[in-house]
Amino acid sequence: QKEVEQNSGPLSVPEGAIASLNCTYSDRGSQSFFWYRQYSGKSPELIMFIYSNGDKEDGRFTAQLNKASQYVSLLIRDSQPSDSATYLCAVKNSGGYNKLIFGAGTRLAVHP
């Protein structure tokens, strides 16, 4: 069974700090990785995707991928209370179809 693992949290950080969210995956052939943000009672919203080893930055968000370690992370700089949500890591499987495997999510709480 191909799996995606995340720490469930809650991860509590003060406003203005860097929040670091981590995800590991078991399918060594995976090529595409996604981070979604989900507010309570709402649907997931795509915030970042990464395909290559290294860092990818978009505003306050940085996705980091290390395929050798099967590890992907999301950094949120200058965290705001509005960033408080559950962050879902998703990995496209190595099979032919465009299926995503989702982690259970990490709950982030940013306190003023």
Partner 1 sequence: DGGITQSPKYLFRKEGQNVTLSCEQNLNHDAMYWYRQDPGQGLRLIYYSQIVNDFQKGDIAEGYSVSREKKESFPLTVTSAQKNPTAFYLCASNPGQGGQPQHFGDGTRLSIL
Interacting residues toward partner 1 by CB under 8 A = 4, 8, 31-32, 34, 42-46, 49, 51, 88, 90, 92, 97-100, 102-105
Kindly tell me which of 43 and 69 has the beta carbon lying closer to partner 1: 43
**Minimum distance of partner 1 from residue 17's CB (angstroms):** 25
CA distance 43 to 30: 24
**Minimum distance of partner 1 from residue 68's CB (angstroms):** 19
**Minimum distance of partner 1 from residue 98's CB (angstroms):** 6
Q: Which two tokens stand for residue 61?
A: 């968000």
CA distance 33 to 92: 6
User: How crowded is the C-beta side of 84, counted as CA atoms within 13 Å?
Assistant: 12
Kindly tell me which of 28 and 42 has the beta carbon lying closer to partner 1: 42
Q: How crowded is residue 17: how many other Cβ atoms within 10 Å of its Cβ?
A: 14
